[in-house]
Structure 1
Amino acid sequence: MKILVTGSNGFIGKNLVEKLNELKDYEIITIDKENSKEELVNGVICADFIFHLAGINRPKNDAEFFEGNTGLTEEIISVLKENNKKTSILITSSIQAELDNAYGKSKKGAEDALLAYGVESDAKVFIYRLSNVFGKWCRPNYNSAVATFCHNIATGEEIFISDPSKEMTLVYIDDVVRNLVRTMNDKNAKLGYITVDVEHKITLGEIVDLINSFKNSRADLMIPNMGSEITKKLYSTYLSYLPEDNFSYPLKMNVDSRGSFTEVLKTADRGQVSINISKPGITKGNHWHNTKNEKFLVVSGNGVVRFRKLGSEKIIECRVSGEKLEVVDIPVGYTHSIVNEGTADMVTLMWVNEVFNSEIPDTIWLEV
């Protein structure tokens, strides 16, 4: 199946082309502004399905809106008619098609031309009126507030919000692409106007607060709630705008003669993760907790975790090794220790069910 994608180097086009390449079921014809009119015509004639994503949204004058939006759509339709083709076409339009401005009118003109083509030729036509699309590869400081916020906050540049309380309707690029591909493959897909099946309502102020929290997480180690779909998608989007020389960041290592202890990440509701490194022969722990619970996972080295229930003299031992990954749960009410019995540093991944609170440490010293 031959698929034509116009605007293939644009934000949506690039993401769609990569998804189609990943699926490996299609021969993809890519057309962008660098291609000639002849290449466009040949692509239209050869295609079994057309994704018409190309358009103009930042012209030198209003006339370019109509040339690049309405005019290009009419040109594609004209080629199909001249060659007696009834190829299905899907176009991405904009919610601004409802507005009385040059851009909106040019997008509405493209919609009307496509709908007329569907009636005249009995071809399947699909129109996605997209709201604010966000995600990786979107151009910042252009026509996407989310892209601009992510880029500017990641690079330390200023941002400006005229009204933090203004509510936005966002659609994520992966959801858009999934919908486009599904529509193409669904023989019973609804014709005409279609909406993306997942939308997110969020204010400009909330968007900026979240993105700032992503940047701050390198210092405070707090990871936001990834159970929230909009938070997860905005976080992924933010990371895609990190400067290439800023992918990594240091952690504070608490080092002494016994080894080191380093906090890696924290969450408001899922506790925190740390890395403990013990030198050979070193014992750490010898304390117990009332409510706090931990999980130990030795990933390198060899040792033993020892437990003793308060009020009992019985000592329980659990051998641990990086050669056999095994999680050890630390029950409350048991004093416990971990000993490096090997000849090299022992590295332990530790999870605790709460972020450390110095006012309520819930850590009572008692030798095993």
Structure 2
Amino acid sequence: MDVMTGAGGFLGWHVRALAHLRGHDEARRIRLGRDADPASIASAVDGADRVLHLAGVSRASDDDLRDGNVLFAEQLARAVTTSDSPPATIVYANSVQSGAATAYGQGKERAFEVLQVAADAVGADLVDLRLPNVFGEHGRPQYNSCVATFCDDLTSGREPRLLVDNRCGFVSAQTSAEFVLGERPASELASAAHWRLVSEIMSELIEIDREYTGVAVPALDGGLRRDLVNVYRSFSFAGRPVIDLEGHVDDRGAFHEIVRSDVGGGQTSYSTTAPGVTRGQHVHRRKVERFCVVGGDAVIRLRRLLTDEVVEIPVSGDHPVVVDIPTLWAHSIVAVGDRPVQTIFWVDEPFDPARPDTYQEDV
């Protein structure tokens, strides 16, 4: 059994989402802070196999940045060292800024030292994940990452502004979650980061915003570029859940372009669905997927993981539109009416049975 601090935060949501898709039990949550109950912390830690310490203070005064991160570590360390059955592993979401001559860097480093003493005292392994700039779907603008801020600006019609142009390591929250859950060894974390100037990231996102118009799909590379596109899509979906198609109709019939892309072939599929039947009921972590109903009537239903937020989009072959499915949203298509539904699906990569990136999940 895992216990987790910071479960309600940005990285916490991504870790919980990955654990859910892997079929793990929901981690027991621990609340830390000045008003936290020491007995509740101790009770949660006792008997746990692993503690995932994701909680931290990243936006506050210098004193709170330093002292808040240390306080969290001290509260957790006290629970670990007084436990009758201490955890075998403590995973600490540290930062590459740990040890820097800043209040944040000093606080994160001191927190690491506190946790290391506690882990040594009970014979536990401390996994020190020195994370770079973590970005991902549904991050908070002006808080979690410049990527979230740039995406929010672009999808809201504002011009993104470059305040500081540092060279930073960028790693997606989905990749970070794999390290937190131990799917990948901590020794590989440094090589998983993409080092870019902030201005380079901003330019990439401006290009994505420019390319993602009409039926066009931005160029992808399966790595950082696709991660950036998926974060951008997590922001753009609310304002543009449906992409209208420019049809060409004459006495012969109609022609609609469904996807235009420089990413390569990908995979295009076609399905028919009998009235009343539901297809899908799954979720993707990485894939860029596009639906287009070209016959019959249907409802595309989507739900963001770990929430009850459901979006329903009526679609019809009489007026074809395109719907791009955001990553980490369960989705299905339901045939309604009395006609069979014909649907064209496009995905940016061919299906690989060894790496299907498809997890069953009811909407």
TM-score under structure 1 normalisation? 0.65
Aligned to 1:139: 140
Q: Separation in 1 of the partners of 2:266 and 2:246?
A: 15
**CA shift at 1:10, angstroms?**
0.5
1:198 aligned onto 2:192: yes
Distance change in 2, residues 1:259/1:217 (3 Å): farther
Distance 1:136 1:196, change over 3 A: farther
Q: Distance in 2 between matches of 1:240 and 1:348?
A: 23
1:114-164 CA distance string (max 9 Å, x none) = 222233332111110100011112211114101111111111123211466
2:135 and 2:170 in contact (8 A); partners too = yes
Partner of 1:237: 231
After TM superposition, the structure 1 = structure 2 runs for residues 66-81 of structure 1, keeping only pairs within 5 Å, are 66-81=66-81
Return the alpha-carbon distance in structure 2 between the equivalents of residues 348 and 91 of structure 1: 46
CA contact (8 A) 1:139 1:147 kept: yes
* Equivalent position SS for 1:98: coil
8 Å contact from structure 2 (residues 42, 83) kept in 1: no
Q: Secondary structure at the match of 2:51?
A: strand
Deviation at 1:197, TM superposition (A): 4.9
In structure 2, the CA distance between the partners of 1:348 and 1:249, relative to structure 1 (3 Å rule), is closer
> Which structure carries more relative contact order (alpha carbon 8 Å, separation 6+)?
2
| Helix, strand or coil at the partner of 2:97 | helix
State how many pairs are aligned: 274
3-state DSSP of counterpart to 2:138:
coil
Q: CA deviation at 1:168?
A: 2.8
Secondary structure of 1:176's aligned partner = helix
* Contiguous gaps of at least 5 residues in structure 2: 269-293, 297-341, 347-363
Q: What secondary structure, in the 3-state scheme, does the structure 1 residue paired with 2:17 have?
A: helix
Question: Which secondary structure state, in structure 2, belongs to the residue aligned with residue 182 of structure 1?
Answer: coil
Task: Provide the secondary structure at the position in 2 that maps to 1:5.
Answer: strand
Q: How large is the RMSD of aligned CA atoms in angstroms?
A: 3.3
Hey, what's the Cα distance between the residues in 1 that align with 2:115 and 2:103?
19
Which is further off, 174-183 or 49-58?
174-183
Partner of residue 108, structure 2: 107
C-alpha separation in 1, matches of 2:129 and 2:215: 39
Measured in 1, the distance between the counterparts of 2:78 and 2:173 equals 30
Residues 44/221 of structure 1: CA separation in 2 closer, same or farther (3 Å cut): same
- Check the 8 A contact 2:134/2:145 in 1, yes or no: yes
Deviation of 1:28 after TM superposition, in Å, equals 1.8
Once the 2 structures are TM-superposed, how far is the Cα of residue 33 of structure 1 from its aligned partner?
5.9
Residue 91 (1) aligns with residue 85 (2): no
- List alignment gaps of at least 5 residues for structure 1: 275-298, 302-346, 352-368
**Structure 2 residue identity aligned to 1:23:** R
1:1-368 maps to which residues of 2 (within 5 A)?
A: 2-32=1-31, 36-37=36-37, 38-59=39-60, 61-87=61-87, 88-162=89-163, 166-182=166-182, 195=189, 197-219=191-213, 221-242=215-236, 244-268=238-262, 270=264
1:149–1:159: 8 Å Cα contact kept in structure 2?
A: yes
Q: Percent identity?
A: 25
Q: Post-superposition shift, 1:5? A: 0.6
Q: Secondary structure at the match of 1:99?
A: coil
Alignment deviations for residues 177-221 of structure 1 (CA, whole Å, 9 cap, x no partner): 1122126xx9xx67xx87355221233333223322333334364
